[in-house]
Structure 1
Amino acid sequence: MDRISALRNVEDALADFEDGDASLGDVEDRVLGVLRTYATEFEDDGAAFRATGDPRVEGVVVVAESEDAARERVAERVDGDPEFGVERLV
């Protein structure tokens, strides 16, 4: 998915919300799906990983080629040494 397609899909989701045809949760799911698709296609051999554990990184999603690389990318976003895990998103 290229950037223009991703933006159009997000705009479509927002328009559905504004028209009352989609709930906030539906829009969040659609936008998250667009972002994940765009991000995983942006990096060859990459996958999306979500951090769980330490509140400072809870829910952070990164694209990386491995679980170890994902942990490094998440850890770079915060000060200190947070305790957390990462799970691959499908």
Structure 2
Amino acid sequence: MIRAIGPSVLLFLLPFLLFFAWNAFQRRPGRSRAVPYLKLSIVGLVLALGGLLFFLDPTADEPRGIYIPPRYENGQVVPGHFAPHPKGQP
């Protein structure tokens, strides 16, 4: 599950991390800067959604089949593939 949502969470947090790193290097004694949480959240949300759309796989096989794993037959490796359900099953 972490592999599925990890990149989106990192892309959402990226603007915050960059802002705080930039703010730490620009800090002057006696001055504090307000954190624009709303703007950073919007940018993070756009990055996370963009990442989800970028990694979307429209060529994925239909989920309505049976996965047949790779196997060794007659000295050859037959790659894994999806096969349709047997008749009478959804």
Q: Give the TM-score, by structure 1 length.
A: 0.31
